[in-house]
Structure 1
Amino acid sequence: MSEAARLRPIEDHDWPAITTLEAHTYSGKGLAEGPETLRTRANPDTSFVLDTGGGLGGYLLALPYPDGSFPDLTRPEAGACRSGNLHLHDLVIAPGLRARGWGRLLVRHLTAIARPQRYERISLVSVGATEGFWAACGFRPHPQVALPGSYGPAAVYMSSEIG
């Protein structure tokens, strides 16, 4: 990581940039959720941003969620859930910073902060043909978990145990 870049908790002033990155990444795939819904996917203890010193370079949103389940993309979360499973809902790296290892760094950071919080595993839904990236990060597919069409045709539920 460069000296200027750092991972830090999400602050209120980050949300416009998070929303812009999310819309840029997912609008063309029909997966953009919008600012109000997106905020409900961010547990403050397990969500953070990549601050490049000159702006927001990316973000990761994760929240406790039952194993084998996933957020409904059509509505905000109703409330907090208690679970040994942490669901990585979204990870986005700004286009100019992709393919530099930032995504893997964010996944490693999430695992490092999840362990002392006593999470047992991290789950996610791979969308847009990203299954290879997630597999390289240690996630394995669970094809028996049925996903709604709202996640797209190539969506795959995956998880990784926290060691």
Structure 2
Amino acid sequence: MPDLPAAAAIAARVHPHHPEDDAVMAERLRLCPEGCFALAGSDDGLRGYAVGHPWRARSVPDLDMRLGALPEPAGAWCIHDVALVPEARGRGAAGEVVALMRGEAARRGLPEMVLVAVGDAAGFWRRHGFRPIPEAPPPGYGARAALMVRDLTRPAAGA
């Protein structure tokens, strides 16, 4: 995902109520390039991106937080963000990214994936094997946010 300005523009469009400093995405790319994905359009423009990285079990860093370093050992794969422009949705790209991240988590031997569902995204994440857990997400994600986890040690129902 080398086009950080284009990714920042998509983030501003897709997540207007969850702004992040551009340095946050740049740091994630530096710390875990294998967790950063770009969706190119037919005109070679960026249509979406996804960012993930190793993190602690059943938790996520707060929104707009620089990490400094990844935890060692990590207990989960954190899906920090998946953002697609509206015209790129409904074609399976987000599901493919989830599968790529699941593969990276498995390659690293991580037992779970964790994320925060914002807005109306919880249904999408449920369809991909995630379930809400009682732990609260960090406050930067907003009142309607839900911390969700997918156990990778056994197959998820319907995924």
- Regarding TM over 0.5, the answer is yes
Identify the match of residue 150 of structure 2 among 130, 141, 160: 160
In structure 1, list runs of 5 or more residues that go unmatched: 1-9
Identity of aligned residues (%): 30
CA root-mean-square deviation: 1.6
Task: Compute the TM-score of the two structures, normalised by the length of structure 1.
Answer: 0.83
Aligned partners of 1:46 and 1:114 also within 8 Å: no
Identify the match of residue 68 of structure 1 among 32, 52, 58: 58
Deviation (angstroms), 1:38: 2.2
Deviations along 1:66-85, one digit per CA (max 9) or x if unpaired, are: 11221122432222212031
Aligned partners of 1:140 and 1:160 also within 8 Å: yes
Task: Compute the TM-score of the two structures, normalised by the length of structure 2.
Answer: 0.85
Deviation (angstroms), 1:150: 1.9
Deviations along 1:85-140, one digit per CA (max 9) or x if unpaired, are: 11000001122111222111111121123212222211000001210000001101
Q: In structure 1, how many angstroms separate the alpha carbons of the residues matched to 2:27 and 2:125? A: 23
Aligned partners of 1:41 and 1:89 also within 8 Å: no
Q: Which residue of 1 aligns with 2:47?
A: 57
* Aligned length, in residue pairs: 149
Q: In structure 1, how many angstroms separate the alpha carbons of the residues matched to 2:36 and 2:110? A: 14
Q: Which residue of 2 aligns with 1:98?
A: 89
Change in 2 beyond 3 A, CA 1:156/1:51: same
